RNA sequence: GCCCCCGUAGCUCAAUUGGAUAGAGCGGCGGACUUCGGAUCCGCUGGUUGGGGGUUCGAGUCCCCCCGGGGGUACCA
């Protein structure tokens, strides 16, 4: 249950009641703000509504707050409502209700915390979609973790989610990749074949060329060069995709669909969408190229769709691709996760939505800032083409999937991220992820210690210790956390919540003996075992949302 | 030049999108429990939120100017 939403409804009704009673004339549609106060002495929830209304009603905010508070009916989850400070309404959760949530969690299991703001709407999260021309970088890893965690949160919020990887298997970068690879293949067979001017310089291309030479022999050298480049490129593409897939699986990411850019051309969709735009009058031709007339939609400039050479731009592919997402596959909402180096592409995409007659709000683009790698206190520059790469795989091999996922997740997408390789690889035990996992392992240990003690008839209403209450307050926050992650498309909130939950548990553990051997403690032992079980369920769920394992032992 | 993101404790970052006395982790210093895991816990240390104006009951958050970092500004992706 989303208490916040319940409170919003309650306060709104109370406001209407107070307005009727006091004769206030309110402007229509007042949004009732409900927030989490900074300090616990201000209760569990608060609303600054009265302060917002003060000037409009020309009344002291405290008076308004009191009038509203007087109209709020008794509900099971609230202990009391107070008016504090300049005119805040403060809400305090009822201990009976909080303790009762333990039974709720035990009954619902890992479904606890799920909400239904999605109402089964179909949403697609497209993420990573790195060019299959090289291994995934740490930056791709950030993309992967943001996308996958968002997808998990959306599913928990009641959306039907599809994860998709868009394969850029057409276009100029692919061409360059094939040419480079052909050169490396030929070189591996002793030919003097130069790598293209702007080709991919990494060692991995040398290795890949040699691998193909070993597997395929000299047969491609006997083909006309153009055909050979095609053929070697195809093999390379397959190998590269397998490699990418493998690297993503190493951090627990699997896709529902891999979508080929090339398929947009093969089945004629590209032509069809271009024709559609032409009919709608969004196509102009000038300087030998075909343009998308985005200036007509408020854009600062037009964008090329088909170059003078006849080759489509990737923007053109993207239009057809998104047409496919919305019209052919019928997604209600599409979320694309892109690095900051693609931010300039966003306004074009929004213009495209309008041109296709779609509400731009149905396309969300999450832009995350780039990752700066540091080693020995100085920056490591990355480039696939020049070849100096710190791959995602190298990092995962050194520090493990759990730590990598948590570290890449625990920052707002808007935040530039410094990744200190020395810190990550040498001092990984300082990573807060272990703190969270430790809480889970510790719980498992408690149950091992409790053995087969039957606590099923434990009375959760015995739970009233301050540490127990604090833990309960954290447990019931989960639905709100899921909501905010989806509302803001900001999955880092899960990481913070996980730490706070683990902290509440560790404090409880220190101050409250769970399994006691004294006979007089029998009932509280059973009640606490229920609380601990509930905590285990929520911890495991939250770790699962982050794609981090929940170990029984560490 | 123009557009986007950022600037918060020694370091890495939060701050419920305008709310109450700006919080965590790490580092540093000092402590804790003779039964459930010390990868834990507690305390201390630490701030003119880059600077300056403004908007209002109220600003880290919004507006303007300046400083600094990153990204974009291609018939690359």
Tell me which residue of A324, A319, A322 sits closest to A306, measured CA to CA.
A319
The tokens describing A232, both together, are 């070697």
Predicted local distance difference test score (pLDDT) of residue A256: 98
What is the rounded end-to-end Cα distance, in angstroms, of chain A? 33
What nucleotide is nearest A35 when CA is compared to C1'?
Answer: B16
CA of A419 to C1' of B13 (A): 12
Predicted local distance difference test score (pLDDT) of residue A386: 52
What nucleotide is nearest A310 when CA is compared to C1'?
Answer: B75
CA of A358 to C1' of B14 (A): 36
Q: Classify A283 as helix, strand or coil.
A: strand
Identify the DSSP state of A35: B
CA of A212 to C1' of B46 (A): 58
In degrees, rounded to 5, the angle at the alpha carbon of residue A224 between the alpha carbons of residues A222 and A230 is: 105
CA of A166 to C1' of B74 (A): 23
CA of A143 to C1' of B10 (A): 30
Residue A312, pLDDT > 90, answer yes
What nucleotide is nearest A290 when CA is compared to C1'?
Answer: B75
CA of A369 to C1' of B61 (A): 19
Spatial separation of the C-alpha atoms in residues A276 and A165, rounded to whole Å: 26
CA of A325 to C1' of B76 (A): 24
Give me the percent of chain A exceeding a pLDDT of 70.
97
Spatial separation of the C-alpha atoms in residues A190 and A514, rounded to whole Å: 71
Which ranges of A410-458 does DSSP label H, i.e. alpha helix? 421-426, 432-450
Question: What would the mean pLDDT of A257-267 be, rounded to a whole number?
Answer: 95
The tokens describing A196, both together, are 């293209």
Which class does domain A3-93 fall in? alpha beta
The protein residue nearest nucleotide B22, judged by CA to C1', is A38
CA of A55 to C1' of B54 (A): 21
Counts of helices then strands in chain A (DSSP H, E): 20, 14
Give residue-wise pLDDT tens across range A18-28: 999 998 888 76
Spatial separation of the C-alpha atoms in residues A183 and A94, rounded to whole Å: 72
The protein residue nearest nucleotide B32, judged by CA to C1', is A510
Predicted local distance difference test score (pLDDT) of residue A427: 60
Spatial separation of the C-alpha atoms in residues A473 and A429, rounded to whole Å: 28
The protein residue nearest nucleotide B2, judged by CA to C1', is A300
**Average confidence score pLDDT of chain A:** 92
- State which nucleotides on strand B lie below 7 Å from a protein beta carbon: 3-7, 11-17, 19-27, 35-37, 39-42, 56-58, 69-77
CA of A170 to C1' of B9 (A): 49
What nucleotide is nearest A554 when CA is compared to C1'?
Answer: B39
Predicted local distance difference test score (pLDDT) of residue A216: 96
CA of A449 to C1' of B64 (A): 64
The protein residue nearest nucleotide B3, judged by CA to C1', is A344
Predicted local distance difference test score (pLDDT) of residue A383: 56
The protein residue nearest nucleotide B73, judged by CA to C1', is A344
Whether A125 and A255 have beta carbons less than 8 Å apart is answered as no
Tell me which residue of A266, A306, A321, A311 sits closest to A172, measured CA to CA.
A311
User: What residue segments make up the domains of chain A, in order of their start?
Assistant: 3-93, 172-249, 431-546
- Point out which residues pair with A419 in neighbouring strands: A373
Ranking A33-47, A250-264, A370-384, A426-440 by mean pLDDT, the lowest is: A370-384
CA of A430 to C1' of B30 (A): 21
Spatial separation of the C-alpha atoms in residues A322 and A344, rounded to whole Å: 17
Spatial separation of the C-alpha atoms in residues A127 and A120, rounded to whole Å: 21
Strands A122-126 and A333-339: parallel
Predicted local distance difference test score (pLDDT) of residue A202: 86
Residue A336, pLDDT > 70, answer yes
Predicted local distance difference test score (pLDDT) of residue A424: 74
pLDDT level of residue A347 (50, 70, 90 thresholds): very high
The protein residue nearest nucleotide B33, judged by CA to C1', is A510
Classify the C-alpha dihedral A453-A456-A461-A467 as positive or negative: positive
C-alpha count within 13 angstroms, C-beta hemisphere, residue A477: 27
CA of A416 to C1' of B69 (A): 10
Give residue-wise pLDDT tens across range A56-69: 888 999 999 999 99
What nucleotide is nearest A446 when CA is compared to C1'?
Answer: B36
Predicted local distance difference test score (pLDDT) of residue A380: 75
Question: What would the mean pLDDT of A144-172 be, rounded to a whole number?
Answer: 96
Spatial separation of the C-alpha atoms in residues A459 and A70, rounded to whole Å: 34
Give residue-wise pLDDT tens across range A273-299: 999 999 999 999 988 999 999 888 878
The protein residue nearest nucleotide B40, judged by CA to C1', is A506
Predicted local distance difference test score (pLDDT) of residue A381: 65
What nucleotide is nearest A495 when CA is compared to C1'?
Answer: B14
Predicted local distance difference test score (pLDDT) of residue A374: 81
- Whole-angstrom Cα Rg for chain A: 29
Task: Give the Cβ contact number of residue A81 at 10 Å.
Answer: 22
Predicted local distance difference test score (pLDDT) of residue A27: 74
C-alpha count within 13 angstroms, C-beta hemisphere, residue A305: 26
Q: Classify A334 as helix, strand or coil.
A: strand
The protein residue nearest nucleotide B15, judged by CA to C1', is A38
CA of A87 to C1' of B61 (A): 22
What nucleotide is nearest A42 when CA is compared to C1'?
Answer: B20
Q: To the nearest 10°, the Cα dihedral for A517, A519, A521, A526?
A: 80
Predicted local distance difference test score (pLDDT) of residue A280: 93
Classify the C-alpha dihedral A273-A275-A277-A280 as positive or negative: negative
When the candidates are 3.40.50.10090, 1.10.3720.10, 3.40.50.2300, 1.10.730.10, the CATH number that belongs to A431-546 is 1.10.730.10
Give residue-wise pLDDT tens across range A381-429: 655 555 556 789 988 988 899 999 999 999 999 999 888 877 777 666 6
């Amino acid at each position: 249950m989303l208490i916040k939403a319940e409170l919003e409804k309650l306060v709104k009704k109370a406001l209407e009641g107070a307005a009727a009673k006091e004769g206030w004339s309110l402007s229509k549609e007042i949004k009732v703000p409900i927030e989490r106060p900074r300090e616990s002495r201000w209760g569990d929830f608060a609303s600054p509504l009265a302060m917002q209304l003060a000037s409009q009603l020309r009344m002291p905010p405290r008076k308004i707050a009191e009038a509203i508070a007087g109209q709020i009916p008794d509900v099971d989850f609230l202990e009391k409502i107070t008016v504090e400070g300049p005119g805040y309404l403060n809400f305090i959760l009822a201990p009976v209700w909080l303790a009762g949530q333990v039974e709720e969690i035990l009954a619902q299991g890992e479904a606890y915390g799920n909400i239904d703001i999605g109402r089964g709407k179909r949403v697609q999260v497209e993420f990573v979609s790195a060019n299959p021309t090289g291994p995934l970088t740490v930056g791709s890893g950030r993309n992967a973790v943001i996308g996958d965690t968002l997808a998990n949160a959306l599913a928990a919020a009641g959306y039907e989610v599809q994860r998709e990887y868009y394969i850029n298997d057409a276009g100029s970068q692919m061409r360059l990749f094939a040419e480079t690879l052909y050169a490396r293949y030929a070189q591996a067979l002793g030919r003097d074949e130069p790598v293209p001017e702007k080709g991919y310089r990494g060692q991995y291309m040398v290795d890949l060329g040699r691998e193909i030479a070993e597997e395929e022999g000299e047969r491609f050298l006997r083909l006309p060069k153009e055909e050979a480049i095609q053929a070697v490129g195809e093999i390379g593409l397959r190998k590269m995709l397998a490699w990418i897939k493998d690297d993503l699986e190493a951090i627990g990411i699997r896709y529902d669909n891999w979508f080929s850019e090339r398929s947009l051309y093969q089945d004629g969709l590209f032509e069809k969408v271009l024709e559609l735009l032409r009919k709608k009058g969004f196509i102009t031709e000038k300087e030998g190229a075909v343009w998308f007339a985005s200036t007509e939609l408020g854009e600062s400039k037009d964008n090329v769709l088909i170059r003078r050479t006849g080759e489509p731009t990737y923007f053109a592919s993207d239009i057809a691709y998104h047409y496919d997402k919305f019209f052919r596959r019928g997604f209600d909402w599409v979320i694309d996760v892109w690095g900051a180096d693609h931010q300039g592409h966003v306004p074009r995409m929004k213009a495209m939505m309008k041109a296709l007659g779609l509400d731009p709000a149905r396309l969300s683009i999450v832009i995350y800032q780039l990752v700066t790698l540091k080693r020995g206190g100085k920056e490591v520059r990355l480039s696939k083409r020049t070849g100096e790469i710190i791959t995602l795989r190298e990092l995962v091999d050194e520090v493990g999937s759990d730590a990598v996922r948590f570290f890449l997740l625990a920052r707002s997408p808007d935040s530039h991220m410094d990744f200190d390789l020395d810190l990550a690889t040498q001092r990984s035990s300082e990573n807060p992820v272990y703190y969270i996992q430790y809480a889970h392992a510790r719980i498992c240990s408690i149950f091992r210690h409790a053995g087969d003690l039957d606590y099923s008839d434990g009375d959760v209403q015995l739970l009233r210790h301050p540490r127990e209450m604090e833990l309960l307050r954290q447990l019931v926050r989960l639905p709100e956390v899921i909501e905010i992650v989806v509302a803001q498309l900001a999955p880092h909130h899960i990481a913070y919540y996980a730490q706070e939950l683990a902290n509440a548990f560790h404090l409880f553990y220190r101050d409250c003996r769970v399994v006691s051997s004294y006979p007089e403690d029998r009932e509280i032992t059973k009640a606490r075992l229920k609380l601990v079980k509930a905590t285990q369920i929520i911890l495991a769920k939250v770790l699962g949302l982050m794609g981090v394992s929940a170990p029984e032992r560490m």
